[in-house]
Amino acid sequence: MNQEQIRESAQILWDHWTRTQQFDELPPHCRPSDRAEAYAIQTQIAKLSGQKVFGWKIAATSDAGQKHIGVDGPLASRLLSNRVIDAGNQLALGNNLMKVAEAEFAFRMR
């Protein structure tokens, strides 16, 4: 992928995410062909958000989790600052298409 395709992919994903809209798939020229391209798109989404990165998460850490989403290893992802809910606060799931909230464990290191 070239930089324009990365930006276009990120914009499509960001637009759908912020509008809480689902879509079937990215256009063929916007689909990452490997993990490096997917991470480049993720980096661009973080830039589009204008938010600080609060931290990182790791997904698909087990063989079962990897098989479930069709990947060959764990995946890293940024946690954007506006996606963090402080302890004791309530979270409305009205616009959450999956109707779930995923709890993350956070560790602060020097």
Residues 30, 35, 36, 41: what is their CA dihedral angle, to the nearest 10 degrees? 40
pTM: 0.83
The residue extents of the domains of the chain are 1-49, 51-110
pLDDT tens per residue, range 25-64 = 999 999 999 999 999 999 999 999 999 999 898 999 999 9
**CA-CA distance, 3 to 41, in Å (whole number)?**
9
The structure tokens listed for 81 are 């600052």
> Is residue 102 over pLDDT 90?
no
What pLDDT does residue 60 have?
Answer: 92
| Length of the chain counted residue by residue | 110
Residues of the chain with pLDDT > 90, as a percent, come to 63
* Higher-pLDDT residue of 85, 2: 2
- How confident is the model at residue 94, as a pLDDT? 78
| Residue with the two structure tokens 């990452």 | 32
Q: Which residues contact 40 (CB under 8 A, 6 or more apart)?
A: 1, 6, 32
The amino acid occupying position 65 is G
